Structure 1
Amino acid sequence: MGTLLFDSDDLDVTEDFLSRAYARMRIGSSTPEASRTRIRRDVMASVSVDEIDLDFDMSYAVTPLGKICLCTVHEGTIQDHVFHGVRDAFGPGDTVVFAPPELSYAGRVHAARYNITMLDPGLLDQVAATDAGPQAEPVRLTGHRPHSPAAARHLKHTIIHLRDHVLSDPAVYQQPLVASASGQLLAASVLAAFPHTAATDPRAQDRTDAHPATVRRAVAHIDDHADQPLTVAEIAAAAHVTVRALQYAFRRHLGTTPLAYLRRTRLAHAHRDLQAADPLGGVTVADIAARWGFAHPGRFAALYRDAYGTSPSRTLHT
């Protein structure tokens, strides 16, 4: 985990770096005498965010990444992007999935500045409803373009949030709860943006299982493990129901979602830590917020004020 900066005008060096950072690939340029590449890579568990700036035209052919690879184009274009019978082109403002994790792809970048965000496919299973049982299929994306401009904008905002407010500060992204929550946030935004195979509506058995005892088991597990990385799938397993049944039970009996309840529980722990902290001991609001999975101090302060009617800094110094 951490930040890596790359700057080279040597095409062979760039190819070697890209092959190590992504997957084995071949790149080429029509102007090898002017082939400067600048990359900033920020990495935490299961997620990486890269900003790439090319001042030349580059062709690429990439072996399967084994990860979901998102691309947001800032400037320039990506032409003749192909994988498994799909051919497309992307320009400024577009956010796409380059290819399914198990497929190769190829194309040409035209003097572009763009973002590459990669995540482990297993993150989708942590936040999506899948069928229970040993034959359950992993959640897969079924399209490479977002299904609506609004969903694409929300995904881009999530990526920017991770880049600017999580991965920019090692003291934040090295907190286990921040890494877990951030990965799930990105996965949920991906599922909201692209068509996928995840089930969304509760089935008859899910409705039957969505009784108060399910909520009690899930709440007990959250309360006992709020200081540990948790996923919706893990909470559902602890409650002995499917993810769909868990989500339906929380919506029916508590009017909220499992992750929203988890966030509220962690907010309460942060509140108690702020009350107990010595304001002269060097601890900060940001320290306590990150400890409980809140990466953005401003958002934490807004949530805190809504819940407790005061600011976290006032609580710390009272």
Structure 2
Amino acid sequence: MPQSRSRRGSPDSFGFEGSGDEARAWLDTVYGTELRVSSGLGVVKHDRIDHGDVVFDHVRIDASYSFDSDPMPMLVVVDVLSGMYEFAHDGVTDRITDGGSALVAGWDMPFSGSADHPVQRTTSLSWDVMLAAVEDADPQHPRRHIIFTSYVPRSPAAGARWRATVDQVGAMLPGDATPAQEHAAARLLGHTLLHTFANNVVVRPSLPGEHADDVDDSPSTVQRASRIIEDHASEDLTLGELARECNVTPRALQYAFRTHLGCTPQDYLRRVRLDLARQALRDGSAETVTDAAIRNGFFNPGRFAAYYRDQYDENPGDTLSRTTTP
């Protein structure tokens, strides 16, 4: 049965553990649609933190199954922590394994697919948040006619940037977050989503110097800095250089990151680099741990291994061995 909800100011936090028809009904209810799961579900464990316009879920499903879903009432991104998903939209199927991300629902998009014992984090954003993000990106755009041309990140760095932003926003929002804090977090996530998945609103990433509003310690400064980090993650990017590209002082840049992501720009850059290194170890593009570390800006093997263990709770060599083991 669902655990009782507890409310401490904002947000709502609640969870569920169950199986079979009970689990199926629970997932339909919390995601606001009919998933039409074709086979029996094993044990489902679900925890949610609901900030209104932004909802964070952690879900574990101990089963292999397929699904055919109606559109969901919010735009939903799945980050796969382990297991596998296949999502089909518009005749295109994307296969997502641990460490990957996919845009799976929203904007009147039905979807289907299959899963194999997935453990996932989902981030859901309301229509109001996404329409505001569209207006920020292009005030002249007919806001209700956004078209996504890909449902996976447009590059490995874009995916790393998305996951790093969700990590930090989720960690820094307090249990008693004010409406203003929740609005700022939602605005940042909406903007990041538009720059992660290819669409007809953001035709290309914004370049340094293009927006006059990116010159303070507001979320727009974090947005600009994160886009620069995405484009130059593997390069020797200092705080001073990043601040200059954003047209702010290093102090203002640090304050913006502390305010809106709860970390320093250096912490965020390291998180993006670690994600890219993990992708390289998982997909076989790096033959050794040292190769993955160096190509992503880590030149001290011991320090890289320590950062990696702290972030992923395993040694980088363990990740590589799963890729290379027949």
Q: TM-score when scaled to structure 1?
A: 0.59
Indicate which of 193, 196, 207 corresponds to 2:196.
193
1:114 equivalenced with 2:150 (yes/no): no
Higher mean alpha-carbon deviation, 149-158 vs 20-29, is at: 20-29
**Residues 65-144 of structure 1: matches in 2 within 5 Å?**
65-79=72-86, 81-127=87-133, 128-132=136-140, 137-144=144-151
Match of 1:24 in 2: 33
Which amino acid letter does the alignment assign opposite residue 29 of structure 2?
R
Contact 1:74 1:112 in 2 (8 A): yes
Aligned pairs, number: 224
Q: Tell me the residue number matched to 1:3.
A: 13
The 5 Å alignment of 1:213-252 reads none
- In 1, Cα distance between equivalents of 2:162 and 2:116: 24
For the Cα contact (< 8 Å) 1:83–1:99, is it kept in 2?
no
SS at match of 2:195: helix
Q: 1:162 aligns with which of 169, 183, 191?
A: 169
Distance 1:143 1:30, change over 3 A: closer
Change over 3 Å in CA distance of 1:200–1:112 after alignment to 2: closer
Distance 1:96 1:111, change over 3 A: same
Contact 2:165 2:261 in 1 (8 A): no
> Distance between the aligned counterparts of 1:4 and 1:97, measured in 2?
24
Question: Conserved in 1, the CA contact under 8 Å of 2:94 and 2:152?
Answer: no
Q: 1:178 to 1:131 in 2, by over 3 A?
A: closer
Residue in 2 aligned with 1:273? none
Which letter maps to 2:179?
A: P
Q: Aligned pair in 2 of structure 1 residues 109, 149: CA closer, same or farther (>3 Å)?
A: same
What's the CA shift for 1:17?
1.1
Q: State the alpha-carbon separation in 2 of the partners of residues 136 and 183 from structure 1.
A: 17
Structure 1 residues not aligned, in runs of 5+: 202-206, 233-253, 269-288, 303-318
- Preserved contact between residue 33 and residue 73 of structure 2 (Cα < 8 Å): no
How far apart, in 2, do the equivalents of 1:20 and 1:110 lie? 22
After superposition, the Cα gap between the structure-2 partners of 1:198 and 1:30, relative to the gap in structure 1 and judged at 3 Å, is closer
Percentage of pairs with the same residue:
18
Candidates 27, 32, 53, aligned match of 1:46 = 53
Structure 1 pair 200–74 and aligned structure 2 pair: CA distance change class (3 A):
closer
Name which of structure 1's ranges 108-117 and 94-103 shifts more when overlaid on structure 2.
Answer: 94-103
- Counterparts in 2 of 1:31 and 1:20: CA distance versus 1, 3 Å: closer
Report deviation, 1:50: 0.7
Contact 1:73 1:94 in 2 (8 A): yes
1:256 and 1:125, CA in 2 relative to 1: closer, same or farther beyond 3 A?
A: farther
Distance 2:93 2:119 in 1: 21
1:237-316 map, 5 Å = 294=260, 296=262, 298-299=263-264
Aligned 8 A contact 1:72 1:95 in 2: yes
The whole-number CA distance in structure 2 between the counterparts of 1:66 and 1:59 is 21
Tell me the CA shift for residue 154 of structure 1.
0.6
Letter in 2 for 1:130: D
Amino acid at match of 1:117: T
Contact 1:76 1:112 in 2 (8 A): yes
Report which of the two structures shows the higher radius of gyration computed on alpha carbons.
Answer: 1
Structure 2 unaligned spans of 5+: 1-10, 205-209, 221-243, 268-326
